[in-house]
Chains A and B, each alone.
Chain A
Amino acid sequence: MDPEGSQNTGDSQRQDLLLEPGYTLATVTDKISSIVLTRGTTKGWMLGFGVSFALLMLFNAAVSYLLIRGVGIWGINIPVGWAFAIVNFVWWIGIGHAGTLISAILLLLHQKWRTSINRFAEAMTIFAVACAGMFPLLHMGRPWLFYYLLPYPNPMWMWPQFRSPLVWDVFAVSTYATVSVLFWFVGLIPDLATLRDRAKNRAAQIIYGFLAMGWRGSAVHWSRYETASLLLAGLATPLVVSVHTVVSFDFSIAIVPGWHSTIFPPYFVAGAIYSGFAMVLTLAIPIRKYYQLDDLITMRHLDTMAKVMLATGMIVAYGYMMETFMAFYSGSTYDRFMIMNRMAGPYRVIYWILIACNIAIPQVLWLKNVRRSPLGLFIISLVVNVGMWLERFVIIVVSLHREYLPSKWDMYYPTRWDWATFVGTIGLFLTLFYLFIRFVPMISIVEVRSLVHETEKEQGS
């Protein structure tokens, strides 16, 4: 299970542990639950929460104005019918994927290193999907008619058009949201019970009690718990691949040069996981520092995640290469022009920044001591987040703005409302996340407990 672990010695071996030695079941529980129960609301938390909440209010403002005036407040036009809204949608939904991957697939593969990060990775997934879910609604010209996309019996005798990927999106995203929430909640139940039992004030007891759904930790409960998580993991696993595949169909089904490509599904999924892990790191590293969780979220975790990023990053790079190669190999005027326009056209700067962010810079992850420096990783993860956002911008806007008929070429410039909406969703995301780390154990007590034995064994040997 751990290729490096065996030949490592002393110092580095200590770093390779998934849990610092000297923890007992009790201390683990104390440490984690205390963050929620005893630590109370800190200034730092208030500050962070305040900022994010302000951004959330900005989002509300932007959306209200959008509903009053129409999508014209954005920079979109003919030919560029999609821009920030869809870019953000794809970006957020992509970020979500890391969570599901960690919690579902790694669970099935018995990757123990997932235990201390899966909880907030899953949380991240849910919040990201929440943000993503907004955009398909908001980008519509008449959002109040969104239900036309749902197949329901109606006096018009009309169905949605099932040939359109947008309809599949509706199903993909909603399924994804549902499963993620269930999975996360089921995993939470034992910990909620723990909080219920440790909570001092009555309100907390009732709320956690209510959420714990009468968990008593009996053998029956545990066995059902295990089965449930396994089942859900099984359900979630295909979603990791399917959701972003469907999203990629929005583009590959169309005939727009730069969209119409069979490579999209795999390369979107890879990209998703890439950005997802970047986001997990972006969140994990500061939290780990702020709440002194270094011995729960060890170097080993960071290192492994960095490796995953490196791997998926390479897949994405391969995607870019293939795209370029195919454009020339196909001999199609339009595709060749599309690539040339990306590299040398009006938006070339953005393209080259994207290449730098997603391909060039992450290469330093080959170096072990970069992978093991939290600061370095943090920066790189941020860079990758930016890069992946730009990738979607290039795919969507730069492909559309100069399409088949030169007479209808035009430029897209984001307006202040475009930015407000984008930043706003980040506000929503962070707000939810702050609430999460304040009121729910951000690391799975149960699963870390299970690590205690392991570490003891390893120490023993």
Chain B
Amino acid sequence: MKRTDGSLARDWPAGYHRIPFWLYSDPEVYEREQQRIFAGPSWSYVSLSAEIPRPGDFKRSIIGDKPVVVTRDKDGGINVVANRCAHRGVQFCRRDFGNTAEFMCPYHQWTYDLKGNLRGVPFRRGLKQQGGMPEDFKLEEHSLQRLQATERHGVIFASFNPQVPSLEDYLGSSMLFYFDRVFDGRELRVLGYMRQRIRSNWKLMFENIKDPYHASLLHVFLVTFGLFRADQPSAVKMDETGRHAVLVSRRGEQKASEGTSEMKSFRANFKLNDPKLLTPVKEFPGDATVVMQTLWPNLIVQQQSNTLAMRQLVTRGPDTFDLLWTFFGYGDDSEEMTQLRLRQANLMGPSGLVSIDDSEMMELSQHGIGQYPDATAVIELGGRDARDEDHMVTETPVRGFYKYYREVMGL
């Protein structure tokens, strides 16, 4: 519903420690998110460079709910174009990956080069002096829609909006530091894909990875084996706007502490039959063993022990999103390190010993939230403001996210 001045006719209490539930189910909110967030001046993750290494390589990707194609042209440059023929709108690219000299729309065979330039139109001059395109029809006026594209250390981002700042300014120095920690310029090696459709609003995924509170309570696996727990040295940090964040922590041991008495999921006696699953090795500089980075508006960079993954969010309406997991390692990984990454992937994905809890909880959340649009969430752990903290007994990054969200959405 809109007011006569065009604003959404819904109320949101002042501040960002109360989140109204209509944000998670209202189609008008979803539409505005597509326009202002996913088509706004933001950098959306679309691909790793290692997925399209050779000239002519392409990959289908999605920003918000809009299909795009990421290509590497014959000069080695990265291009991101809308997956929509300039003629009649056909989604011309249906293969997830491939290598080609040109794209041809199957409907009327308009052909484009890998930069998105229209190269040919059948019957342009007509047939037997009949029909054809008007004399003033110009190929160069009918290219594929080109997006802004940028790459940093093997990670490709794109934007529908030409006003987007440089990626470095967009991330800010604090977030750039953590980004470069995983993406240090080494060649990346893709280990494979997982994908799941979660029937909840996309924002619940970001809230989940911006909320270290739940991890110490919900996830028996993390808590018991000390992979991520509130009594360990930890930090939560954000960029200046609050839109990006990291949760940083250091692995502890499977032993009781002052904190574990409040964690019902701590199991002092739980032993694995095959401990190979949890024998991580240190590979990054510094003390942190887990860094979960959330980058506005569609990316989670996962580094938990030796399992690394991009989690790309694809919105599918107000009450559904897809989570696209791309697991990777480095080109110079030893065979042993690759085995560790593959083994520890058991923690993550649609069957993850940890992440199952999250995908299930997001769907349960939507079941509760969706039918009660006028109720609100209480986000007060650690205060009512949004600032960096050197502990994880806080929901401050969730407040940071909604502080920025409110500004962008004009709500």
Mutual binders A and B: no
Interface residues of A (CB under 8 A from B): none
- State the B residues within 8 Å of A (CB): none
